Amino acid sequence: MRLKGKVAIITGGGTGIGKRIGERFLEEGAKVVFSDLSEEVSFVDNLGENAAYISADVSISQDVDNLVNSAIERFERVDIIVNNAGVGALGGTTDVTDEDWKKVIDVNLSGTMYGMRAAAKAMKEKGTQGSIINISSILGGVGFNGAIAYCASKGGVVQLTRAGAIDLAGDKIRVNAIAPGFISTDMTKDVLEQEDFKNLVLSSTPLGRVGDTEDIANSAVYLASDEAKYVTGSIIYVDGGWTAK
C-alpha cells in the first residue's frame, strides 16, 4: 500500500474528483478526512474507521483552520492535503458579475491558499515531511472564452503551487498541482451534454475522450506517495493532450 500510515484531508471531497481521490487514498492505506459544504455526507459512513467527514467552507479561513485541527484531533497528524474544492462561473471580461468573480476567487484561489497555510503550519509543528496537492486546471495555463474568473483563479493556483514549493522546501514539504482537462463529473455534466460543446472538447483533446475521476485520482496517489519524494513545484497536466498543442 503506497500511502499506508498517512493521514490525508480532501477538500471538496463530497463528490466528483475529490470523492474519488479520497477513495483511492483509502485503498492505498491512508486515513482520510473528506470535507465539503454539506453538514454530512452519507457515503463516508460506509468507508470504515479510517474515513471521516468534516464540514468546512474553504472560502472562510477559520473554517479551514478548524478542519485541519479537527483532522489532527481525529487521526493525530496530517501528512497530505488535497485542495480540491472549486466552483465555476460563466462570464467574460465585460460581463462577469462582481458576485461571480468574488465567489470563484474566494473558493478556488483563497480557499487553496488557506488549505496550504493551515496544513503547512500543522506539518511544520510536527516535523512532517508532507505533501500538498492543489487542483488547478488546464484553464490555469490557457485561456478560454467566457470563463475569465475561473481561468484567473486556476492560474493563481499554479503560482500558489510554485511559490509554496519554494517557501516550504526547507521543511521538506512538497507542493504540487494537478491540472485536469475536461473530466466527467456533476460539475461538468450539463455542458458535456451539449452536443456542440462535447464535440469541441473531443476535437481539442488528442486522446479523443473526456477524462474520468480515476485519471485524476491516480495522479494524486503518485504525488501523495514517497514515489514523488523528489517532485515539488510541478504542475501535472492530466488532459488527454489538450495543452500539448
Residues annotated as catalytic are 150
CB 17, CB 39: distance < 8 Å: no
What beta strand segments (E) does the chain contain? 7-10, 31-36, 51-55, 80-83, 131-135, 174-180, 235-238
Phi and psi at residue 166, to the nearest 5°? -70, -45
What is the end-to-end Cα distance of the chain in Å, rounded? Answer: 36
Residue type, 85: A
For 186-234, the DSSP string reads TTTHHHHTSHHHHHHHHHH-TT-S-B-HHHHHHHHHHHHSGGGTT--S-
Name the grid cell of 33.
478526512
Q: What span, in angstroms and rounded, lies between the C-alpha atoms of 136 and 194?
A: 24
Sheet holding 31-36, edge to edge: 51-55, 31-36, 7-10, 80-83, 131-135, 174-180, 235-238
The residue among 85, 132, 78, 143 whose CA lies nearest residue 109 is 85
